[in-house]
């Protein structure tokens, strides 16, 4: 399959491109700046520049772009960046695919990055793709982000919205900041540790995206593992695999002082389950906390 990937240099995008190439797919990256080879396509979402000709012959687009929600404190300006870095490129892609749909020459599949932030802080309520959205800044961001795909969906493009949870990786990403502390034995649960984290390993994240390329699945898809657990349980499981204690809990007030309002999102509780993935026949490489902890730690 010929796949075009936006956001290809982030944690998930980098792993996805490598995985797709290893599976025999042809991959081109959407890049901001001049294309440096046949495997790159130049675009400029800030100026609404994406010629339809550069997408001719492609089968699918995977859009994973967006400013990191935990990269900076949430000033008014950075909140705006979080929103526009998602909605503007997504809108451009969706409108471009919609314009190409009548000719049949363009991609007929859009796998659109999204997030479990859609559900907000929901305690122990089980959340499927049919659950209503929650409240809060990130929930509002995701609603606007997903709505940006509507032109493509209305034109008959198959659009799957990838509501990704906390991605467990050996390096990089939000979890990658905690792992070095656990290796040193100076990490522990965040806050009380009782909030449920919807996690997925990076391995299963990219496998699930590839899986959705050739499944007739559209609408929201929860990209999370099948065993969401309290955050403290996950942290302790990883520390145990490392042979380290996990007794140094980080107080909520300290998180709030360091991260501002983003701390509330980290401490949100979301028991999200992958109902659509299960129904589509996907099987997880790391279906439980123990197997995930072993992979993350390399033990």
Q: Are 63 and 91 in contact (CB under 8 A)?
A: no
List Cα–Cα distances, 201 to 37, 58, 240, 275, in angstroms.
31, 28, 18, 17
pLDDT on residue 187? 86
Provide the whole-model pTM.
0.96
- Of 63-67, 141-145, 192-196, 259-263, the one with minimum mean pLDDT is 259-263
115-143: average pLDDT: 97
Residue 173 has pLDDT above 80, yes or no: no
Nearest-5° angle of CA 123, CA 128, CA 133?
A: 65
Predicted pLDDT at 288: 97
Mean pLDDT of all residues in the chain? 95
pLDDT at 205: 98
In the chain, where are the structural domains located?
2-297
CA–CA distance, 266 with 246 (Å, rounded to integer) = 18
Average pLDDT over residues 193-206: 97
Among 3.40.50.2300, 3.40.50.720, 3.40.630.30, 3.20.20.70, what is the CATH number of 2-297?
3.40.50.720
CA dist 9 and 225 (Å) reads: 23
pLDDT at position 88, please?
Answer: 98
Running DSSP on this structure, what letter comes out for residue 45?
A: G
The per-residue pLDDT for range 77-102, each reduced to its tens digit, is 999 999 999 999 999 999 999 999 99
CB burial of residue 150 (10 Å; 0-12, 13-18, 19+)? middle
DSSP labels for 76-111? HHHHHHHHHHHHHHHHHHHHHHHHHGGGT-S-SEEE
Q: What is the pLDDT of residue 70?
A: 87
Q: Supply the pLDDT for residue 25.
A: 98
* pLDDT > 70 fraction of the chain, expressed in percent and rounded: 100
CA 101 remoteness from chain centre: 26
């Amino acid at each position: 399959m010929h796949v075009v990937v936006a956001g290809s240099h982030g944690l998930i995008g980098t792993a996805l491109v490598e995985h797709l190439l290893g599976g025999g797919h042809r991959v081109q990256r959407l890049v901001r700046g001049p294309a440096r080879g046949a495997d790159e396509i130049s675009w400029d979402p800030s100026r609404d520049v994406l010629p339809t000709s550069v997408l001719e012959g492609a089968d699918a687009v995977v859009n994973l772009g967006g400013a990191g929600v935990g990269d900076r404190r949430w000033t008014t300006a950075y909140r705006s960046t979080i929103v526009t870095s998602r909605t503007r490129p997504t809108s451009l892609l969706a409108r471009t695919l919609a314009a190409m749909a009548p000719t049949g020459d363009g991609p007929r599949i859009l796998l659109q990055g999204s997030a479990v932030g859609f559900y907000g802080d929901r305690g122990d309520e089980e959340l499927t793709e049919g659950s209503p959205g929650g409240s809060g800044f990130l929930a509002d961001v995701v609603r606007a982000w997903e709505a940006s795909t509507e032109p493509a969906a209305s034109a008959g493009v198959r659009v799957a919205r990838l509501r990704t949870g906390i991605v467990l990786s050996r390096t990089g990403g939000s979890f990658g900041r905690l792992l070095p502390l656990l290796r040193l034995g100076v990490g522990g649960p965040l806050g009380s540790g009782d909030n449920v984290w919807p996690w997925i390993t990076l391995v299963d994240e990219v496998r699930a995206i590839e899986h959705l390329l050739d499944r007739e699945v559209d609408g929201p898809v929860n990209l999370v593992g099948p065993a969401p657990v309290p955050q403290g349980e996950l942290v302790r499981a990883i520390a145990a695999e490392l042979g380290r204690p996990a007794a140094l809990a980080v107080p909520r007030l300290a998180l709030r002082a360091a991260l501002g309002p983003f701390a509330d999102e980290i401490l949100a509780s979301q028991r999200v389950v992958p109902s659509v993935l299960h129904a589509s026949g996907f099987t997880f490489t790391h279906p439980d906390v123990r197997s995930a902890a072993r992979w993350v730690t390399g033990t």
